[in-house]
Amino acid sequence: MVTTDAPRTETAAMTLARHPATRRERATRIKDPLIDRVFMIGVYVLLSVFLLVVLLPLVYIVANSLSDASAVSAGRVTFSRPPLTGRSTEFRSGTTATTALTRASSG
Partner 1 sequence: MVTTAPPLAGSQKLRVRSSSRGWTAAKRSFRRHWQLYLLIAVPIVWFAVFRYWPMSNAIIAFKDYNVVQGVWGSDWAGLEYFQRAFANPRFWTLVSNTFILSALVLIFSFPVPIVLAIALNEVRSTFFRNTVQMVTYAPYFISTVVVVSMTIVFLSPRMGLANQFLNIFGVQSIDFLSNPDLFRPIYVISDIWQTTGYAAVIYLAALAGIDPSLHEAARIDGATRVQKILHVDIPGILPTAMVILVLGVGNVMAIGFEKAFLLQNPLNLATSEILPTYTYKVGLLNADFSQAAAIGLFNAVINLVLLLVVNVVAKRTTGSGLW
Give the binding site for partner 1 (CB under 8 A).
30, 33, 35-36, 39-40, 43-44, 46-47, 50-51, 53-58, 60-61, 64, 72-75, 77-78
Query: Least distance to partner 1 from the beta carbon of 89, Å?
Result: 15
CB within 8 Å of 67: residues ≥ 6 apart: 77, 82, 83, 84, 85, 88
Closest CB to partner 1 among residues 46, 97 = 46
Query: Least distance to partner 1 from the beta carbon of 76, Å?
Result: 8
Closest CB to partner 1 among residues 12, 74 = 74
Query: Least distance to partner 1 from the beta carbon of 38, Å?
Result: 10
Buried b / exposed e along 8-23 (16+ C-beta atoms within 10 A): eeeeeeeeeeeeeeee
Query: Least distance to partner 1 from the beta carbon of 65, Å?
Result: 9
Q: Bridge-partner residues for 67, per DSSP?
A: 84
